[in-house]
Amino acid sequence: MSAGGARLAFDRGAAGRRAADVPRFAGTPAPLPDARLLRDELRLPELSQPELVRYYTELSQRNYGVDSGTYPLGSCTMKYNPKLNELIAGLAGFTDAHPQAPEEAQGTLRVLHELQAALGELTGLPAVSLAPAAGAQGELAGVLMIKRALEERGELAQRRRVLVPDSAHGTNPATAAMCGFTVTQLPTGADGSLDRVVLARNLDGSVAALMVTAPNTLGLWERGIEEVAAQAHAAGAYLYGDGANLNAILGRMRFGDLGFDVVHLNLHKSFSTPHGGGGPGAGPVCATPELAPYLPAPIVGARAGDGFELVRPERSIGRLQQFHGNAGVLLRAYAYMRALGLDGLRAASGLAVLNANYLRALVREHYDLPYGGPVLHEVVFSGSRQRRAHGVRTYDIAKRLIDYGFHPPTVYFPLIVEEALMIEPTETETRESVEALAAALVAIAREAAEEPELLHDAPRSAPIGRLDEAEAARRPVLRWSPGLDP
């Protein structure tokens, strides 16, 4: 696509143009280094200031984020994040405090200490480390903690397996494998929860842990999880909780009360941090007192006397990254929690569930719903009806949504749903915007039946049309060269 607006900075401007005028240097020039080290030709874009500003403004307008419109990416909780939290995380007292100056950082440490306590309270798992920088890293920490505990119990040699449901996020089996365990995949039953017969058959003395996502990636609650926890414990295994979907149950349900031993949260999903670009994140781990000694370092402790300090738990699995973790994300989470309070957090999860169910009700006649019934934070439709009857794939439906002005939902995940369309409106969408998204999905279902070719080459209105994604991944063109047609 070569519409004028798509030209790169290199293809704009003219030789000698400058974006700023600076007075001529009046001092004695320093001698240049050896001429052989200098390049004669260095092609840089030469633009006037307005050209430069317009170029970057144009680029920014090609972006689509939650500040531009509905962003219903399932499993990601792409909610609108209050701008106040950005302001607070950017306060000079936080951003200028040097992490190695303990007195200067007292304010930050105090906030982190309170955040640890709040997350401990919200999860019912009082031992908390804020160190992990993402959900996946929180999982790594949690499973390493379990590994260390088993080692100290003298059972690591025989407990080599981790059980993971087939609806799990890919990071769950990846984590278990990275920690040196063998992964056994457990099937999901027709009701969307674990197949309990298969689970019982697998829970024996060779199992280190069972990893359960609650609510799971189908947007459904794991039925009888308390019983599953008791069974896992009776078999000597730990119950790991993937808490990335906390948005659905905030302030209503506590992992510790249900029997989980350790859980990670995704603060960038549930507690207000923009994360569309893939980071930064924070994936704190919350554990029972039994597992507390193994938490990743550092944790924030109260000093004798007064003030706070970073401490290393007795038999810690070690450090995951430098300093305190991603402090900016932690500060946003703290500000979000303090602003809403417990009632506000409960209300937010209630609205998230209401919005997902409203969308489900508006759209369900038009797409298959393999796991029927009310959902929690997200709803997973299937495009198999459209595929079979009209040769239209979920991929086409997702791309067509761009023409209707929406970011596509998550597609082809969870893996157990054929042609999956996983939609999470979140609590921050208004009734009107949920209705608008539903109307677009319904209109696309109609197009699939009547004019399927409209969908095959969608998007039609975006700056870049349908890409050959396999080719783009295998042979990406990442470097400008003269005459390149973007």
Ligand X SMILES: *Cc1c(COP(=O)(O)O)cnc(C)c1O
Q: Give which of 225, 230, 222, 272 is closest to 247, Cα–Cα.
A: 272
In terms of CB distance, is 13 or 173 closer to ligand X?
Answer: 173
Q: Is 171 in the site for ligand X (CB under 6 A)?
A: yes
Contact call for residue 368 and ligand X (CB under 6 A): no
Nearest residue (CB) to ligand X, 79 versus 113: 79
In the complex, the smallest distance separating the C-beta of residue 245 from ligand X, rounded to whole angstroms, is 6
The amino acid sitting at 150 is L
Instruction: Provide the minimum distance between the beta carbon of 282 and ligand X in the complex, in angstroms, as a whole number.
Output: 8
Q: Judged by CB under 6 A, which of 283, 296, 425, 459 binds ligand X?
A: 283
The contact pattern for ligand X, residues 31-60, with x = CB under 6 A and - = no contact, is ------------------------------
Q: Which is nearer to ligand X, 245 or 386 (CB)?
A: 245
- Looking up tokens 């309990």 gives 196
Residue 213 found at the interface with ligand X (CB under 6 A)? yes
Closest approach of ligand X to the CB of residue 380, in Å: 13
The interface with ligand X within residues 427-486 (CB under 6 A) comprises: none
Q: Which residue is nearest to ligand X (CB)?
A: 135
Q: Which residue has 């549930």 as its token pair?
A: 270
What contacts 400, CB < 8 A, 6 or more positions away?
Answer: 444, 447, 454, 455, 458, 459
Residue 217, interface with ligand X (CB under 6 A)? yes
Q: Are 83 and 278 in contact (CB under 8 A)?
A: no
C-alpha to C-alpha distance for 138 and 385, rounded to whole angstroms: 38
Q: Which residues contact 310 (CB under 8 A, 6 or more apart)?
A: 102, 109, 297, 298, 299, 300, 301, 324
Task: Give the start-end residues of each E strand in 278-404.
Answer: 285-287, 299-302, 308-311, 379-382
CA distances from 264 to 91, 140, 172, 486 (A): 27, 9, 11, 42
Instruction: Please tell me the distance from the alpha carbon of residue 229 to that of residue 159, in angstroms, as a whole number.
Output: 17
Min CB(426)–ligand X separation in Å: 13
- Any contact of residue 163 with ligand X (CB under 6 A)? no
Q: How far is the CB of 246 from ligand X (least distance, A)?
A: 10
Q: What would the x/- binding string for ligand X be over residues 68 to 97, using CB under 6 A?
A: -------x----------------------
Phi, psi angles (nearest 5°) of residue 437 = -65, -45
Answer yes or no whether residue 135 interacts with ligand X by CB under 6 A: yes
Query: How far apart (Å, rounded) are the C-alpha atoms in residues 448 and 462?
Result: 20
The distance of closest approach from Cβ of residue 454 to ligand X in the complex, given in angstroms and rounded to an integer, is: 32
* Alpha-helix residue ranges (DSSP H) falling in 364-457: 384-390, 394-403, 431-450, 452-456
Taking contact as CB under 6 A, which single stretch among the options 10-18, 145-153, 239-247, 408-416 is the one that binds ligand X?
Answer: 239-247
Shortest Å, Cβ 76 to ligand X:
6
Q: Which residues bind ligand X (CB under 6 A)?
A: 75, 134-136, 169, 171, 213, 217, 242, 244-245, 266, 281, 283
